[in-house]
Structure 1
Amino acid sequence: MTVTATPSTGRKRSVSGRVRTLAGLSLLTLALLLGAILAGAASTGSGLRTIGHDAGPQVLATTGLYRQMSEMDALVAETLLLGSEYGPQQQADLTTYDQRRLEISESLLKAYRLALDDPAEQRTVESLIEGLGRYERLATQARLLDVQSKHTAGQPPDNVVQAYQKATDLMHRELLPQAYNLTLETGTIVRRAHVAERSTTSLARFAVIVTGLLALGCLLGLQMYLTRRFRRVFAPALVVATVLTVAGLVTGTALLNRQGQALDEAKRGGFDAVLTLTRARAISNSMHGDQNRYLLDRFRKDTYEHAFLDKSQTIAAVESTSLPDYQSKLRADFQGLLGSLTGQDRERLFTVYQKFQQADARMRTMTAEAAIKYWDGELTQTYESYDKVLEELVRRHESDFERAIDSGDGALETLWRLIPAGLAAGALLILVGIWPRLREYR
C-alpha cells in the first residue's frame, strides 16, 4: 500500500510545486516591471521638477533680472539727459524706474527661494541686494545734483555726469555680471538635469521592455503548463492578467516616452529659446541704454559707441571693423544669439532690428541737440518696435515651455495612478487563476 501511494503523492507535489514556481516567477517579474516603470517615472519626474519648477524658472527669472537692472540704469541716464522742460516725461521715467525696482525685488526674492539648497547662489543674490542698495544711493545723488542744476535738455553739468558715472560703473562692472553669472549657474543645473534624464530614461525604457517581456513569458508558460496538465483551453483570470501585463508594458513605455519627449520639448523648444531670446532682449535694452549714455556723457562717447558695437555683434554677428561698418554690412545671414531663428520669425525680427540699427546710425551723424530730439522720438520708437517683437517671441516660447511641462506632469500623474493599480490587479488575478488548481492538490 505504501508503494502505490508514494508515486501519487510525489506527482501531486511536483505539479503543485511547478504551478507555485511559475506563479511566483510571474509575480516576481510583474514586481520588477512595476519597479522599472516607477524608477523611470521618478527619474523623469525629477528632471521635470528641475527644469519646469525649480532651476528652469530660476534661470528665466534671473535673465529677466538682467534686463530689469539694465533698464533701471538706462532710465536714470534718460532722466538726466532730459531737461527741466521735460518734467512730465522725467516723472514718467521715474515711475517706470520704481516699477522695475519692484520687479527686481520680486525676481531676487524668487531666486533666493529657489536657491535655498545652494549657499553660493544665495550669496550671489545677497550680494546683488546689497549692491542695488549702493546703486540707488549713487543714482539718487546724480538725480539730486541734476535737479539742482536746472539744466535744459542735453548734456548735464560735469558734476552730474561724474556722479552718474559712479552709478553706471557699479551697475555694469559689478551688478550685471553677477546677475549673468547667477543665470549661468542655474542654467548649468538645467543642462545637467536634461543630460542625466535622457540617459536614465533610455535605461528605464530598456528595463521596462526586458522585465515586461519576462513577465509575459512567465505568464504564458504558466498558462501553457496549466492547459497541458489540466486539459483546460483557457484560465480566464490568467488571460486577463496577461492582458493587464501587456497593457502595463505598452502604457508604461508610452508614458515614459511621453515624459521624455515633453522634457526634451521643454528644454529645447521652450527653455533654450526663451533663454536665448530673453538674453537678447536684455542685451538690446542695454544697447538702448548705451545710446542714452552716448548722448549724456561727452567724456565717454567712444566707450559707449564701442560697447554698442560689441553688444550688436552679440545679438547679430557680421564681420566688421567699426560700428558704421557693421551697420552697413548687416544682412539677413547674420549669426550670433538670434542666428538660431528660422523662417518668418527670423525675417520679422531682422527687419525691425535692422531699422533699429539704421536709426542709430542716423542719430550719430546729427548735432547734439538734433540727436536728442531724434532719440526722444523716432529712435526710441524703432527700439520699442524691435523690443515688442522680441517680447512676443519670448511669450510664445514660454507658452511652449509651460505646455510641455504640463504634458510631462500629466503623463507622470497618469503613470502613478494607473500602472500600479493595473499591475496589482494582474498579480491578484494570477493568484485567483492558480488557486483552484492548487486546491485540487491539498
Structure 2
Amino acid sequence: MTVTAMPSARRKESVSGRLRTLAGLSLGTLVLLLAAILAGAGSTGSGLRTIGHDAGPQVLATTGLYRQMSEMDALVAEALLLGREYGPQQQADLTSYDQRRLEISESLLKAYRLALDDPTEQRTVESLIEGLGRYERLATQARLLDVQSEHTAGQPPDHVVEAYQRATDLMHRELLPQAYNLTLETGTIVRRAHAAERSTTSLARAAVVVTGLLALVCLLILQAYLTRRFRRVFAPALMVATMLTAAGLVTGTALLNQQGEALEQAKGHGFDSVLTLTRARAISKTMHGDQSRYLLDRFRKDTYEHTFLDKSRTIVAVESTSLPDYQGKLNANFQGLLGGLTGEDRSRVFAAYQRFQQADARMRTMPAEAAIKFWDGELTQAYERYDKVLEELVRRYESDFERAIDNGDGALETLWRWIPAGLTAGALLILVGIWPRLREYR
C-alpha cells in the first residue's frame, strides 16, 4: 500500500504546485501591469501638472508681467508728451497707468505663490516688487514736474525729461530684464519636465505592453492547463479575468497615449505658441513706447530709433542695415518670433505688422508737431490693429492649451478610477477560478 500511495501523493502535489505556480505568475504579471500603467500615469500626470498648473501658468504670468510693465512706462512717456491741451487724454493715460499697476500687482502675487518652492524665483519677485516701488516714485516725480511746467504738446522741459530718464532707465535696465529672467527660469522648468516626461512615458508604455502580454500569456496557459488536466472546456472566472486583463492592457495603453498626446499638444501647440506670441506682444508694446520716447526725448532720439530697430528684428527678422532699410525690405519670407506662424495666421499678422512699420516710417519724416499728431492718431491706430491680431491668436492658443490640459487630466482621472479596479477584479477572479481545483487536492 505504501508503494502505490506515494506516486498518487506526488501527482497531487505536482498538479497543485503547477496550478499555484501558474496562478502566481498570472497574479504577478497583473501586478507588474498595474505598476507599469500607474508609473506611466504618474509620470505624464506630473508633466501635465508642471506645464498646466504650476510652472506653465507662471511662465505665462511673468510674460504678461513684462508687457504690463512696458506699457506702464510707455503711458508715462505719453502723458508727458501730450501737454496741457490734451488734458482729458492725459487723464485717460494715467487711469490706464493705474490699471496696469493693479494688473502688475496681481501678476506678481500669482508669480510669488507659484514660486513658493524656489527661493531664487522668490527673491526675483521680491526684487521686482521693491524696484517697482522705486520706479513709481521716479515716475511720479516726472509727472509732478511736468504739471508744474504747463508745457504744450511736444517735448517737455529738459528737467522733466531728465526725471523721466531716471525712471525709464530703471525700468529698462533693471526691472524688465528681471521679469524676463523670471520667465526664462520657469520656462527651463517646463522644458525639463517635458523632456523627462517624454523619456519616462516611452519606457512606461513599452513596459505596459510587455507586462500586459505576459499577463495574457500566463492566463491563457493557466486556462489551457485547467482545460487539459481537468477536462473542462473553460473556467468562466478565468475567462472574465483574461478579458479584464486584455481590457486593462488596451485601455491603459490608450489612456497613456491620450495623456502623452495631450501633453505634446499642450506644450508644442499651446504653451510654446502662447509664450512666443505673448513675448512678441510684450516687445511690440515696448516698440510703441520707443516711438513716444523718440518724440519725447531729444537727447536720446538716435538711441530710441536703434532700440526700435533691434526689437523689430527680433519680432520679424529680415536682412537690413538701418531702420529705413529694414522697413523697405519687409517681406512675407521673414523669420524671428513670428516666423513660426503659418497659413492665414502668418498673412494676417504680417499685413498688420507691415502697416504699423509703414506708419512708423511716415512719422519719422514729419516735423515735431505733425509727428506728435500723427503718432496720437494713425500710428497708434495701426499699432492697436496689429496688437489686436496678436491678442486674438494668443487667446486661441490659450484655449488650445487649456483644452489639451483638460483632456490629459480627464484621461488621468479615468485611468486612476477604472484601471486599478479592473485589474484588482481580474486578480480576484483568478483566485476564484483556481480555488475549486485546489480544494480537490487538499
Q: TM-score, normalised by structure 1?
A: 1.00
SS in 1 for 2:426: helix
1:132 aligns with 2:149: no
Once the two structures are TM-superposed, the CA of residue 120 in structure 1 deviates from its matched residue by: 0.6
Q: How does 1:58-73 map to 2 (within 5 A)?
A: 58-73=58-73
The alpha carbon displacement at 1:439 in A equals: 1.2
What does residue range 111-190 of structure 1 map to in structure 2 within 5 Å? 111-190=111-190
How far 1:10 moved relative to its partner? 1.2
Q: Per-residue deviation at 1:205?
A: 0.4
Q: Which residue of 1 aligns with 2:317?
A: 317
Give deviations 1:410-439, integer Å, cap 9, x for gaps: 000000000000000000000010011111
The answer for the alignment partner of 2:421 in structure 1 is 421
Partner of 2:406: 406
- Please name the residue that 2:32 is paired with: 32
Distance in structure 2 (CA, Å) of the matches to 1:200 and 1:252: 16
SS in 2 for 1:299: helix
Q: Which amino acid aligns with 2:397?
A: H
Q: Which residue of 2 aligns with 1:270?
A: 270
Which whole-Å CA distance do the structure 2 matches of 1:427 and 1:95 have between them? 67
The whole-number CA distance in structure 1 between the counterparts of 2:217 and 2:174 is 65
What does the per-residue CA deviation read over 1:277-329, in whole Å, with 9 as the maximum and x for residues that have no partner? 00000000000000000000000000000000000000001111100000000
Shift of 1:110: 0.6
Match of 1:54 in 2: 54
User: Does 2:327 correspond to 1:358?
Assistant: no
SS in 2 for 1:233: coil
**CA positional deviation for 1:5:** 1.4
Residue 300 (1) aligns with residue 300 (2): yes
State the alpha-carbon separation in 2 of the partners of residues 129 and 295 from structure 1.
Answer: 30
- TM normalised by structure 2 equals 1.00
Q: 1 CA distance for matches of 2:327 and 2:28? A: 70
Q: Match for 2:140: what amino acid?
A: T
Once superposed, which parts of structure 1, at least 4 consecutive aligned residues long, lie more than 3 Å away?
none
Structure 1 segment 369-388 matched on structure 2, within 5 A: 369-388=369-388
Distance 1:199 1:4 in 2: 60
C-alpha offsets along residues 44-83 of structure 1, whole Å, 9 cap, x if unaligned?
A: 0000000000000000000000000000000000000011
Matched with 1:191 is 191
Deviation at 1:36, TM superposition (A): 0.5
TM-superposed deviation, 1:3: 1.6
Return 68-77 or 431-440, whichever deviates more.
431-440
1:359: how far off? 0.2
Which deviates more from structure 2 when the two are superposed, residues 2-11 or residues 44-53?
2-11
Letter in 1 for 2:70: S
Residue matched to 1:3 = 3
Alignment gaps of 5+ in structure 2: none
* Deviation readout 1:112-158 (Å, 9 max, x if unpaired): 11111111101100000000000000000000000000011110000
Using the TM superposition, give the Cα deviation of residue 440 of structure 1 relative to its aligned residue in structure 2, in angstroms.
1.1
Q: Tell me the distance in 2 between the aligned counterparts of 1:24 and 1:346.
A: 60
Provide the C-alpha distance between the structure 2 equivalents of 1:353 and 1:5, rounded to a whole number of angstroms: 96
Structure-2 separation of matches of 1:151 and 1:376: 17
Alignment partner of 2:54: what SS?
helix
Describe how 1:199-348 pairs up with structure 2 within 5 A: 199-348=199-348
Deviations 1:236-276 (A, max 9, x none): 10001000000000111111111111000000000000000
- Residue deviations 1:181-213, cap 9 Å, x none? 000000000000000000001000011111111
The CA distance in 1 between the partners of 2:301 and 2:215, in whole Å, is 75
CA distance in 2, matches of 1:69, 1:115: 20
CA displacement at 1:85 relative to structure 2: 1.0
d(CA) in 1 for partners of 2:383 and 2:208?
A: 54
How far apart in 1 are the matches of 2:286 and 2:194? 31
Partner residue, 1:75: 75
C-alpha deviation, 1:2, in angstroms:
1.6
Write the distance in 2 (CA, Å) between the matches of 1:419 and 1:125: 42
Unpaired stretches in structure 1, ≥5 consecutive residues: none
Overall identity of the aligned pairs, in % = 87
Structural RMSD (CA): 0.5
- Separation in 1 of the partners of 2:164 and 2:300? 12
The question of 1:108 aligning with 2:104 is answered no
Q: Match for 1:109: what amino acid?
A: L
Equivalent-residue separation in structure 2 for 1:265 and 1:436 (angstroms): 51
